[in-house]
Amino acid sequence: MRVLHHYMLSSASRFVRIYLDEQKMEFLPKLEEYWKSEAAFLKLNVAGTVPVLVEDDGTVLCGAYVIAEYFDDILQEKPLLQGRPAERAEIRRLFDWLCRRFDRDVMQPLLNERLIRRMTGGGVPSSVVIRTALSNLGVHLAYFNHLVEHRQWLAGSKMSIADLMAAASLSVLDFMNDINWDDWGELKIWYARIKSRPSFRPLLADQVTGMSPPGHYTNLDF
Amino acid sequence: MRVLHHYMLSSASRFVRIYLDEQKMEFLPKLEEYWKSEAAFLKLNVAGTVPVLVEDDGTVLCGAYVIAEYFDDILQEKPLLQGRPAERAEIRRLFDWLCRRFDRDVMQPLLNERLIRRMTGGGVPSSVVIRTALSNLGVHLAYFNHLVEHRQWLAGSKMSIADLMAAASLSVLDFMNDINWDDWGELKIWYARIKSRPSFRPLLADQVTGMSPPGHYTNLDF
C-alpha cells in the first residue's frame, strides 16, 4: 500500500491526508519527525520535508504541489482541480498562496517557535516572531473571509485543492487556538462545512505530545 | 497581445520570459517596480508580486507555477513538462525547490538587501543576511552540480521548466557576480548550454540602474 510520511502539525501533510481520503485512496500513514533529518528519510527526500508519498511502484512524491499535480495527471476524474484552464489557474493561484506566502508569513514562524524549538532544544520562543506571525495571520484571514463572502468555495463554485490546503492550514492554527472564529463569520461557515467532512475526522483525532487543542477544536458545532 | 508584467531581477519573471520565448509565444513586456505596490498593479495581483501575465482574453495569471501549469493545460505539445507522470513529478519537485526553497534561502534575502532596500530607502544592507544567503547558495549549487553530473538536464534527459527556472535564478546571481563558475564545472557546462539559447538573449541585455553585471555575464564563452 502507498505510504505517506507526514507530521501531525504540518499543514501540507494534513492537506495530503484529506486529499487522499477525498479521492478514496488508501494509504498507510507514517509519522515523520522530519526535523531530526534521519538518513533514511533524507534518502527519500533530500529536502528533509514532509509530506512524502511513496507509491506502490516505488515512485516517490515530495510535497503537496507535486502530489496534487501527480494525481491530476493520472486520475481520469479531477474533482479537486476541475474547470476550464482559467478556473484551474485561479485554484492554483490560491493553492500557491497558501503553500508559499501563508506558509512563510504565518505557519513556518509559528511552528518554528512553538514546536521545532521545543523538539530540538532550541531555547525560548521569540514573542516578537510569534506576534508578527499572528498579525500577518489577521491580514490573510481577512482575505480568505473576503473570498468566501463572494464565492461558494475559496477559488470558485466548486471545492478544490485550494480549500483543502486552506482548511489544513487553519486546522493547525485552530489546534494551537490561534483563530478567534467569531471575528470571521463567513470563513467560519466555510470551515464548518469542510470540518464536518469524513476526510477531516482523522485530523481532529491527532494528538501531539505536550500540546492540547482547545475544546472547540473537535467540535463540529464550534 | 499578451502582456507580461515583470521585473528584470526577479527570477520568476525571467523564467516566464524564457518560457514564453521557448514556446514561441509573443508577449509585450511591461516593467513593474512591484515593491511600489501601485493600485493598478495590486488590482491585477493582490499579492503584489511579479510575474503577472495578462492573456488576450483578459485571463490574469499570477506567478511562475500558475503560468507554467496553465500552458501545460492548453498546449497540445508539452516540450517543457514532458514525460510519464513520475518524470513530470521529478520536474515539478525541482521547479518547486527553486520557487520556494532556493528563493527563500538565497534569492529573496539577496534581492531584499541589495535592491529593495535601495529602492525603498530602507537603509544599509545587512552583511550578516548577505553572508548567510551566499553560504546557502553554496549548498544549493553543490546539489544542482551533483544533479547535472548524473543527468543530461536538471530533472532528467530532457530540458524542462526546472532547467529554465534554475537558469533564470542563476542568471540573476550571475548579474550580481555571486557565482564563481570555476568551482562548479558540470553546472557551468549546463549553464553555458542554456545561456547560448536565443530565448536567453533578452535577459543578457537587461540593464538595471545603479548595478553593473561583471564582464563574463554576457559572454557566451565565460
Per-residue pLDDT tens over the stretch B108-119: 999 999 999 999
Nearest CA in chain A to B60: A86
Structural domain that includes position B153? 85-197
Residues of B in Cβ contact (< 8 Å) with A47: 97, 101
Contacts A96 to B, Cβ<8 Å: 63, 65-66
Q: Is residue B167 part of a domain?
A: yes
Taking an 8 Å cut-off on Cβ atoms, the answer to whether B88 and A73 are in contact is yes
Please give the pLDDT value at position A151: 97
Read off the pLDDT of each residue in B149-162 and give the average, rounded to a whole number. 98
Residue A182 is assigned to a structural domain of this protein: yes
B4 domain residue, yes or no: no
Residues of chain A found within 8 Å of residue B62, distances taken between Cβ atoms: 93
Per-residue pLDDT 10s for chain A (222 aa) are 999 999 999 999 999 999 999 999 999 999 999 999 999 999 999 999 999 999 999 999 999 999 999 999 999 999 999 999 999 999 999 999 999 999 999 999 999 999 999 999 989 999 999 999 999 999 999 999 999 999 999 999 999 999 999 999 999 999 999 999 999 999 999 999 999 999 999 999 999 988 999 999 999 988
CATH of the domain at B131: 1.20.1050.10
B139 CB-contact burial (10 Å; exposed 0-12 / middle 13-18 / buried 19+): exposed
Amino acid letter for position B43: K
Contact A100 B99 (CB under 8 A): yes
DSSP-assigned states of every residue in A130-153: HHHHHHHHHHHHHHHHHHHHHSSB
Look up residue B29 and give its DSSP letter.
E
E-assigned strands of B7-130?
28-31, 52-54, 60-62
Contact list in A for residue B154 (CB cut-off 8 A) is none
State the first-to-last Cα distance of chain B, in angstroms, to the nearest integer: 36
Please tell me which of the candidates B47, B66, B73 has its beta carbon nearest to residue A101: B47
Residues 6+ apart with CB under 8 A from B78: B72
**CA B138 to CA A185: how far, in whole Å?**
47
B64: which chain A residues are within 8 Å (Cβ-Cβ)? none
Whether B161 is covered by a domain: the verdict is yes
Alpha-carbon span A103 to A172, nearest angstrom = 12
Which residues of A are less than 8 Å from B156 in CB distance? none
Q: Which residues between 94 and 153 in chain A have a beta carbon less than 8 angstroms from any beta carbon of chain B? A: 96-97, 99-101, 104, 143
Select the residue of A66, A73, A88 nearest B96 (Cβ to Cβ): A66
Peptide bond into B85 cis (omega under 30): no
Q: Is A181 inside a domain boundary?
A: yes
Asked if residue B30 has pLDDT above 90, the reply is yes
Backbone angles phi, psi at B12, to 5 degrees: -65, -35
Question: A51: cis peptide before it, omega within 30°?
Answer: yes
Q: Is the pLDDT of residue B210 over 90?
A: no
In eight-state DSSP terms, residue B125 is P
pLDDT score of A32: 97
Task: Give the pLDDT confidence score for residue A202 in this predicted structure.
Answer: 96
Q: CA nearest A68 in B: which residue?
A: B89
Distance CA A50, CA A64 (A): 9
Record: contact A88-B99, CB cut-off 8 A: no
Q: Domain for residue A164, yes or no?
A: yes
- Please tell me the distance from the alpha carbon of residue B101 to that of residue B110, in angstroms, as a whole number: 14
| Segment B53-110, tens digit of pLDDT | 999 999 999 999 999 999 999 999 999 999 999 999 999 999 999 999 999 999 999 9
Smallest Cβ distance to A70: which of B61, B70, B89?
A: B89
The verdict on a CB contact (< 8 Å) between A63 and B99 is: no
Nearest residue on chain A to B101, judged by CA atoms? A47
In this structure, what C-alpha cell is assigned to residue B56?
488576450
- Look up the ipTM and state it: 0.97
Residues of A in contact with B46 (CB under 8 A): 143
Residue B142 has pLDDT above 90, yes or no: yes
Task: Judge: A74–B65 Cβ closer than 8 Å, yes or no.
Answer: no
Q: Where are the alpha helices (DSSP H) in chain A?
A: 11-22, 39-44, 64-74, 85-96, 108-111, 117-120, 127-150, 161-175, 185-195, 201-204
Whether residue B140 contacts residue B105, with contact meaning beta carbons closer than 8 Å, is answered with yes
pLDDT score, position A172: 98
In a domain, B185, yes or no: yes
**What is the distance between the alpha carbons of residues A52 and A32, in angstroms, rounded to a whole number?**
10
Pairwise CB contact (< 8 Å): B65 & A65? yes
Residue A210: per-residue pLDDT:
86
Place of cell 547535472: B148
Q: Comparing C-alpha atoms, which of A69, A16, A7, A10 is closest to residue A38?
A: A7
Nearest-CB residue to A62 (from B65, B69, B93)? B93
* Count of domains for chain A: 1
Would you say residue B135 lies in a domain?
yes
